[in-house]
């Protein structure tokens, strides 16, 4: 599954909030009619993004996240830079 460019941009934004050693989970939520569910798998909706921490707490949302189906999950984590 390939993330949409918007999702990648959101992920990069999210990583600014990422604490060292913490994992972040991003749910990309598409409308049910979205073409990503078709065999071609091309997204033609405006997906919503939900940012959760590694305990499942919602930290941030972008776009409307209600009544959408979560399709893509992206996990971002920052490696600890300590020596």
Question: Cβ closer to Zn ion: 18 or 35?
Answer: 35
Q: Does 3 bind Zn ion (CB under 5 A)?
A: no
- Work out which of 11, 34, 51, 52 binds Zn ion, going by CB under 5 A: 34
The pair of structure tokens assigned to 66 is 């209600």
Interface with Zn ion, residue 28, by CB under 5 A: no
What's the CA gap between 73 and 28, in Å, rounded?
6
How far apart CA 50 and CA 36 sit, in angstroms, is 18
**What's the token pair of residue 33?**
């009619």
Among 36, 48, 50, 51, binds Zn ion (CB under 5 A): 36
Sheet of 23-30: strands edge to edge?
Answer: 58-62, 48-53, 23-30, 69-77
The nearest distance, CB 35 to Zn ion, in angstroms, is 7
Task: Name the residues that contact Zn ion, by CB under 5 A.
Answer: 30, 34, 36, 43, 45, 47
């Amino acid at each position: 599954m390939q993330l949409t460019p918007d999702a990648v941009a959101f992920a990069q934004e999210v990583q600014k909030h990422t604490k060292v050693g913490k994992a972040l989970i991003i749910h990309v939520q598409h409308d049910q009619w979205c073409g990503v569910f078709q065999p071609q798998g091309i997204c033609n909706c405006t997906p919503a993004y939900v940012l959760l921490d590694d305990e499942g707490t919602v930290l941030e949302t972008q776009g409307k996240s209600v009544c959408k189906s979560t399709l893509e999950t992206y996990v971002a984590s920052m490696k600890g830079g300590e020596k």
